[in-house]
Every structure is written in structure tokens, then in C-alpha cells.
Amino acid sequence: MPLFGKKDSAKKAKKEAEKQPSVEDKYVLKELLGTGAFSEVRLAESKEKPGQMFAVKIIDKKALKGKEDSLENEIKVLRRLQDAGPAPGGGGAPGLPQLPSPSPGHSDAAAPSDASGSNRAPAPVRLNNRLKHPNIVQLLETFEDKHKVYLIMELVTGGELFDRIVEKGSYTEKDASDLIRQVLEAVDYMHEQGVVHRDLKPENLLYYSPDEDSKIMISDFGLSKMEDSGIMATACGTPGYVAPEVLAQKPYGKAVDVWSIGVISYILLCGYPPFYDENDANLFAQILKGEFEFDSPYWDDISDSAKDFIRQLMCVDVEKRYTCRQALKHPWISGNAASNKNIHGTVSEQLKKNFAKSRWKQAYHAATVIRQMQRMALSGSSSGRSPVPARTCLSESLNGSPRND
């Protein structure tokens, strides 16, 4: 059965595929960057524009059998985020376009985003009359043959969030505020399009380029869900970052992403997570109660505004929790409340202690950020690490069996 077609349209899909260019017609597939349970990632160079590089995720259909819906969901989400329109203040019909099923050789964008690494890029921009957000890793094209599916992804090369903070000589609240602002802008854009990420965490925040002022990118939409596809109730996500309502197995929505951004903000200012326990049951109990502290001496030099910002995002009461739009207006983000005092020493020491590479990374030879890309969606479960547990579908441990929303 073709991945992107129905049984009764197999012959038609085969004919259409014969007319479409193959991935090899448009790209030179280069060295292996990483592997997963269902896929591998290779560097790819455009034949039309030599020197223009991409990351291509190659999914084995045979290994994927029975899980096709998960891949189709990821592709649908990514296409929703870049096909949405119009941009704020732009023209065009209101609402979202009908999303066609991906087809072999379907082009979603003509080129990767600008390689300038510009740090501040709040507004969605146009590619071939379509919209994309500059802080969301883009799916550019999809290809399919008899045995494999190919996802041509925007190439980002700047490394992972924690690595860059540790490597910096100076790091301030203002730096953290600027990072969180970019994340909020991207997630606010996602929410406007009806998409909930459901797995926001530092490992999914990547730097676009090695440049000092590089923007941050959101990746890994494998657990993302579109609100119009039904009620969300599955306890999915990464335990340390998951919202209380998810653990309580209540229907939930966009607010779960805001909670996760609050957890990330907390870590960015002290280097350790707000919730942690070796025992998952105890960890979940902490999260359900919203029990976290601003411990001395780690938080002594952090501004009251930063602490208030975190409290507003990590509010157990969903109705009182800030939205992304409200968070963007908080003085710690939009004003001058973020301190310029250098907190690098304390934060980097705690990051190295609590998120050591040997405990939460796999050692691929490829660039760190490209390796992260191969974990998107169907690349298999992450390697075990401490103190932040690997991504999982929590309903499996809570209920004994996974749910399908």
C-alpha cells in the first residue's frame, strides 16, 4: 500500500510517480549524518544550485509499516505551518487552505531560509507566495519511491541550545529573554495555525548557524497535533516538560506548550530543571501540584521580573496561565526588565552537571544539529538520559496502553 495513497488508487499513484522527478534527479545524496529505528539522515546537495545544502530524512517503508499515520501527521503539520496564510498585515483570503496529501516530488518551498543567521525575525516571511516562520525548521520537499520516503529538510548547522550556552564566555538574563522571545513568536505562530507542538524542550531548540547572533529554530514535530483533528487527551511528551493537565489525563490544548516554555525558561536561568525525581511517580506528583522553587544561591541574582514571568507560564490553572501572546508582552520579554549581569559561570556549571553530553546525547559523527533532525517523528526513541527523561507517550505507563490522538 502506498504511504500517501489509498489501496484503490495504487495504480494511479504509480503512474503519477513515474511522471515525477526522483530525489536523485534533484539532489546529490552525500554522507550519512545519523540513523534511527525507521530512518537515516544524509546531507544532500542541490543539482540545480550546486553548493546549496539540505538534510534529507530517508524513511524505510518496510520498517514504517503500521505507523504510516504518524509520518503523514508530521508532514501535514509541517505543511500547515508553511502553507498557512496570510501573514499579519498581508493580503489573501482568510483562514487556512485545504491541505493536499503529499505526493512524490511535491515541492513545498523553493529554497532554504536565508543563511545570514539573523537573530531577530519575528514575522512570517514568504517563499513562493507561501508563508513560513523563520524560527521553524522547514520541510521543503517530499519524494516517494517503492521502498522509501524522502523528506528534504532545511539544513541548520549551529548546534544545540545547551552546547552554545556552555561555550559562551558571557551569558545574561537578556540572552535568555531573547531566546525565549524567539520561541514564543514561533509557537504563537503555530498556535495561530491550530498546531500544538506537544514536545517542546531544549533538545528541540537548534541554532540556525554557527554565527554569534544566530536565530534559534524549533524542530521535531513528531508529536505535534492539529487542533481541528480532534480532542487531545493522550499523555504524550517528555516527562520533565509536560504540563499538569496532560498528566491528569484531561483534554488539553495550546496551553501545554506554554507550560513547556516556562520549564525551558527556568532551566535557561539556573541550569537545572524545576521538577526532578528519579521516580517518575514522584516527578509527576511534583508537576501536578506545580511545586518548584527558586533556590538560593542559584536564583539570588535573577530578577524578580524573570521569576514572575516563569510563574505566569508555569501556572497549574490553565485558565490563568499566560498565552504566548500574553507572554510576549511581559516586561521580561518586551521591556528592559531582564538583567545584563553575567550568569554564565553558575548556569554553565549546572548545565554540564545536569545535562552532560554523555548522559543525554548519542555520539553521531555529524553536526550536532543535524543529528537532532533525524530524531524528528519516526526516528525511534531517544537514548536514555538523566535527569531529563527521554520522550515517551506517557499514557503507556499510566494506562498500560497507548492512545491514538
Reading the block at residue 348, the C-alpha cell is 554553565
d(CA 262, CA 370): 26
Question: Do 380 and 36 touch, CB atoms closer than 8 A?
Answer: yes
CA distances from 21 to 1, 50, 107, 142, 153 (A): 21, 18, 11, 11, 17
Closest to 388 (Cα-Cα) out of 271, 261, 241, 198: 241
Number of residues that make up the chain: 405
Q: Output Rg (C-alpha) for the chain, integer angstroms.
A: 21
Question: Do 295 and 306 touch, CB atoms closer than 8 A?
Answer: no
Reading the block at residue 234, the C-alpha cell is 493522550
Question: Do 178 and 387 touch, CB atoms closer than 8 A?
Answer: no
Catalytic residue among 83, 108, 175, 199: 199
CA dihedral for 178, 155, 85, 88, sign (positive or negative): positive
* CB neighbourhood size of 297 (10 A): 7
Question: Do 142 and 54 touch, CB atoms closer than 8 A?
Answer: no
50: preceding bond cis by omega (within 30 degrees): no
Whether 199 is catalytic is yes
Does 57 belong to an annotated binding site? yes
d(CA 204, CA 216): 10
Q: Name the E strands within 133-208.
A: 139-144, 148-153, 195-196, 205-207
Reading the block at residue 191, the C-alpha cell is 498556535
d(CA 166, CA 135): 22
Annotated binding site: 57
Please list the active-site residues: 199
